[in-house]
């Protein structure tokens, strides 16, 4: 029987791929200062009651790449200081209200590559401080649904990042994400045919929403109502045939919209009126080009959003640096949207060469000779002002001459 009794000062213990298949409560007895424990790749099948009771100050535990089929709250009982729990690549098939003990300090839990199909409400009620959860496996689809008006992620009010892979839902309904008031990043991949109204209504802090590769066919026009702080929306590689009018009316801070790889043929005329948008990916769609697309913007559709970089400069205090995150955007001509009804030619080439569409500003201008001075360079403005001044002076002199002639007596 393995025992580490007497190793009272050890802070980190790593046992990988050592065929450690069985754990018992005495194994870590007396390891009060142990902070990090990693038991990856050992073929562990279950966690006995109070398996880590001798090391109750653990901050992180990794049980990844084992063969754990079931979790019971007694297996992790007493770990009130635990912050990071890694359980990826095991054999868990479901989670319920008795899977976890109270873990008040838990920040991150990784459950990827487990064939989890169901999550019963109240599963995460004992994780009130958790910030990040990852779920999903290629071996089984994770079913998303509500249970008698309860969501599967209730009580995770401080959760900031939720990643769900290989999800399954015929219709993503209101209440699935109930209680996720603090969520900032939501990523879902899998199979979701329809997204109903108000699904993301409670996510007022949501910044990034990635629901790409989900086979989505239908979006409610009210699906994004409430997510007012959304900055990045990824709907790429779905089965969308249309974008509902008004879908993005509530998203005044939206910067990146990705719609590539769908079945779109047209867009609402107001789509390019988003006040903060910087990137709109529309390539790999069978566009039917008409003059209704004359308000499309080349510099938005032919640009790619690269990973954020850091820019640092020296501060006022000696040896101090001030760093900030910088968003990087680059032009890429290969991303141009193309017309399926013009043999795959560029949308902008077709609008200019074949359709000869006037821009929306020229179309609505009542005076064709009127020039918008805001778009002129400085030297053109000076010349224009000089001409205007001379014209006014000439008109004034002509008027004065006519007035003098009218005052002279007629013969």
Max distance between CA atoms of the chain, in angstroms, equals 135
Tell me what the mean pLDDT of segment 339-353 comes to: 94
Total H helices, total E strands in the chain? 4, 20
**CA 260, 261, 262, 263 torsion: positive or negative?**
positive
With beta carbons less than 8 A apart as the criterion, state whether 114 and 92 touch.
yes
Cβ-based neighbours of 32, under 8 Å, separated by 6 or more = 8, 54, 55, 56, 57
Q: What are phi and psi of 306, to 5 degrees?
A: -85, 165
Tell me what the mean pLDDT of segment 339-343 comes to: 95
Q: How far apart are the first and last CA of the chain?
A: 135
Residue 335 to residue 326: CA distance in whole angstroms = 23
- 126-141 pLDDT per residue, tens: 988 999 999 999 999 9
Q: How much is the pTM? A: 0.81
Residue 280 to residue 303: CA distance in whole angstroms = 8
Residue 228 to residue 327: CA distance in whole angstroms = 20
Would you kindly state where each structural domain of the chain is located, as residue ranges?
Answer: 1-140
Residue 293 to residue 287: CA distance in whole angstroms = 10
- 178-216 pLDDT per residue, tens: 889 999 999 999 999 999 998 998 899 999 999 999 999
Q: What are phi and psi of 45, to 5 degrees?
A: -100, -25
Residue 191 to residue 194: CA distance in whole angstroms = 9
Residue % of the chain over a pLDDT of 70: 83
Quick one: how far is CA 135 from the chain centroid?
A: 17
Residue 237 gets which letter from DSSP? S
Q: What are phi and psi of 206, to 5 degrees?
A: -65, 125
The per-residue DSSP string of 90-111 comes to S---EE-TTS----TT--EEEE
Q: What are phi and psi of 257, to 5 degrees?
A: -125, 125
Residue 104 to residue 81: CA distance in whole angstroms = 8
- 43-90 pLDDT per residue, tens: 999 999 999 988 999 999 999 999 999 999 999 999 999 999 999 999
pLDDT at 362 over 50: no
What pLDDT, on the 0 to 100 scale, is given for residue 364?
37
Q: Regarding the domain with residue range 1-140, which homologous superfamily does it belong to in the CATH classification? A: Ribonuclease Inhibitor (3.80.10.10)
């Amino acid at each position: 029987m393995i025992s580490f009794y007497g190793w009272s000062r050890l802070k980190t213990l790593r046992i990988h791929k050592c065929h450690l298949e069985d754990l018992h409560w005495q194994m870590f007895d007396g390891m009060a200062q142990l902070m990090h424990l990693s038991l990856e790749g050992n073929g562990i099948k279950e966690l006995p009651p109070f398996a880590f009771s001798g090391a109750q100050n653990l901050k992180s535990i990794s049980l990844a790449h084992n063969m754990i089929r079931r979790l019971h709250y007694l297996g992790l009982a007493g770990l009130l200081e635990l912050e990071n729990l890694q359980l990826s690549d095991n054999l868990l098939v479901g989670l319920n209200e008795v899977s976890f003990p109270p873990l008040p300090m838990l920040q991150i839990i990784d459950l990827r590559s487990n064939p989890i199909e169901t999550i019963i409400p109240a599963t995460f009620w004992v994780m009130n401080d958790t910030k990040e959860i990852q779920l999903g496996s290629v071996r089984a689809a994770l079913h998303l649904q509500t249970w008698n008006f309860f969501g599967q992620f209730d009580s995770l009010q401080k959760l900031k990042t939720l990643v769900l892979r290989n999800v399954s839902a015929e219709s993503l309904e209101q209440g699935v994400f109930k209680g996720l008031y603090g969520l900032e990043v939501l990523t879902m991949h899998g199979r979701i045919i329809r997204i109903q109204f108000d699904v993301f209504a409670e996510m007022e802090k949501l910044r990034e929403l990635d629901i790409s590769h989900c086979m989505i066919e239908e979006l409610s026009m009210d699906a994004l109502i409430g997510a007012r702080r959304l900055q990045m929306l990824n709907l790429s590689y779905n089965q969308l045939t249309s974008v509902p009018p008004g879908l993005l009316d509530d998203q005044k801070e939206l910067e990146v919209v990705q719609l590539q790889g769908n079945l779109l043929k047209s867009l609402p005329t107001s789509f390019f009126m988003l006040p903060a948008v910087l990137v709109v990916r529309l390539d790999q769609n069978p566009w039917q080009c008409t003059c209704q697309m004359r308000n499309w913007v080349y510099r938005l559709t032919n640009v790619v959003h690269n990973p954020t970089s850091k820019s640092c400069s020296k501060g006022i205090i000696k040896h101090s640096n001030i760093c900030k995150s910088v968003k990087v955007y680059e032009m890429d001509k290969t991303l141009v949207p193309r017309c399926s009804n013009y043999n795959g030619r560029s949308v902008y080439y077709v609008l200019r060469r074949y359709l000869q569409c006037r821009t929306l500003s020229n179309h609505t201008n009542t005076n064709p000779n009127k020039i918008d001075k805001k778009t002129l360079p400085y030297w053109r403005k000076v010349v224009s002002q000089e001409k205007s001044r001379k014209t006014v002076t000439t008109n004034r002199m002509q008027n004065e001459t006519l007035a003098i002639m009218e005052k002279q007596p007629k013969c």
